[in-house]
Amino acid sequence: MAIPAARMKGDEDRRTDEGGDHIVPLSREALAVLDAARQVTGGFPLIFPSERNPFKPMSDNTLRALLIRAGHGGRHVPPGFRAAFSTIMNERADRGGRAGGHSEASPDLAT
């Protein structure tokens, strides 16, 4: 998977010096999840589109607003989901490694 240089944040020099597009290697399992998500979203180019316009990305506050509406606003914050996922998957290292595309010897599992 590649993120086009034009979509990346940062200064123009960095994008040009590093060769433009940012290549993101993904496991077969991760690609299968993305393909399934694309089918659910109607084939639009974004996996997490805006409610109002499927060609624009979801707002930074969308997940936060959902948590508040669900009654979890004071207990959970969106960045906590990544940390929670990491903790849960590190407890089940075999599944976490496959989901994150890491090898068994990954130093990420030490944290």
- Structural domain range at position 28: 1-49
Is the same domain home to 72 and 32?
Answer: no
- Number of folded domains in the chain? 2
pLDDT tens string 10-42: 666 655 655 677 778 889 998 999 888 888 878
The answer to whether 26 and 1 are in contact (CB under 8 A) is: yes
Is the same domain home to 111 and 65?
Answer: yes
Is the same domain home to 66 and 28?
Answer: no
Is the same domain home to 86 and 43?
Answer: no
* Exposure string for 58-89, b = 16+ CB within 10 A, e = fewer: eeeeebeeebeeeeeeeebeeeeeeeeeeeeb
> Looking at the domain assignment, is residue 39 inside a domain?
yes
* Predicted pLDDT at 2: 74
* Predicted pLDDT at 44: 82
Question: How many Å apart are CA 96 and CA 104, to the nearest integer?
Answer: 10
> Looking at the domain assignment, is residue 54 inside a domain?
no
